[in-house]
Amino acid sequence: MGDVDELNSQIGLLRALLRAEAASADFQSVDEKLRAVQNDLFDLGGQISCPGLVLLKTERLQQLDEWVAQDNSDLPRLQEFILPGGSIPAAQGHVVRTLARRAERSLTALGHALEDGEAQTAVLRQYLNRLSDWLFILSRRLNRALGQDDVLWQRDE
C-alpha cells in the first residue's frame, strides 16, 4: 500500500509541475489522464486492502493500452537507451515510472505470499506494468513538448 500511495503522491507532484509549465505548453489532456490514473490507484489500493473486492475495472487496463499506442505512435523509434532527465516534468515522469515498477514488484511479492494471491493480483500487476510503460512514453512526450530532446545513454567506446 505504501508503494502505491507514494506513486500516487508523486503523480500529484507531476501534475503540479505540469500546471507550472502551462505557459509553455497545453497539458490539460495529460493532466486529465494523470488524474484518472490517480483515481485508478485508489481503486487498486482498495482492492489490495480488501481481497476479493473488485474496484479496478479491466477497462482501465485497456485504456492504458490505448494511451500507450496513441502516445507512442508519432515518437521517433529508439536507437539507444534513454536516461531519465531533460525537462523537470519529464524527469518527474521518470520518477513516477520507477515507482510504478516498484509497486508492481511489491504486488508480485504479495501475490506469491497469499494463497491464490497471484490470481487476485494479476490485473493489478498488469495495470502497474502498463502504467510504467505509458509513463516512459509520457516522459518522452513531455520533453518534446517542452523543446527538449531525449537524454540518450552514451556508451563508452
Each residue's pLDDT tens digit, 58-96: 999 999 999 999 999 999 888 889 999 999 999 999 999
Asked if 48 and 107 count as a contact pair (C-beta separation under 8 A), the reply is yes
106 domain-assigned: yes
76 domain-assigned: no
22 domain-assigned: yes
**Cα distance between the two ends of the chain:** 43
Specify the residue for cell string 563508452. Answer: 156
Residue 62 bridge partners (DSSP): none
> Would you state the cell numbers that stand for residue 58, as one nine-digit string?
479491466
125 domain-assigned: yes
pTM over cut 0.95? no
Residue 151: pLDDT over 90: no
43 domain-assigned: yes
75 domain-assigned: no
Stronger pLDDT, 153 or 41, i.e. the higher one: 41
What CATH number did the domain enclosing 9 receive? 1.20.1200.10
Stronger pLDDT, 157 or 90, i.e. the higher one: 90
- Whole-angstrom CA distances from 149 to 17, 73, 102, 106 are 19, 17, 26, 33
Q: How many domains does the chain have?
A: 1
Residue 30: pLDDT over 90: yes
Stronger pLDDT, 5 or 80, i.e. the higher one: 5
In which domain, by residue range, is 37 found?
A: 2-69+82-147
154 domain-assigned: no
> Would you state the cell numbers that stand for residue 115, as one nine-digit string?
494463497
6 domain-assigned: yes
Residue 146: pLDDT over 70: yes
Q: Which helix (H) or strand (E) holds 66?
A: helix 58-72
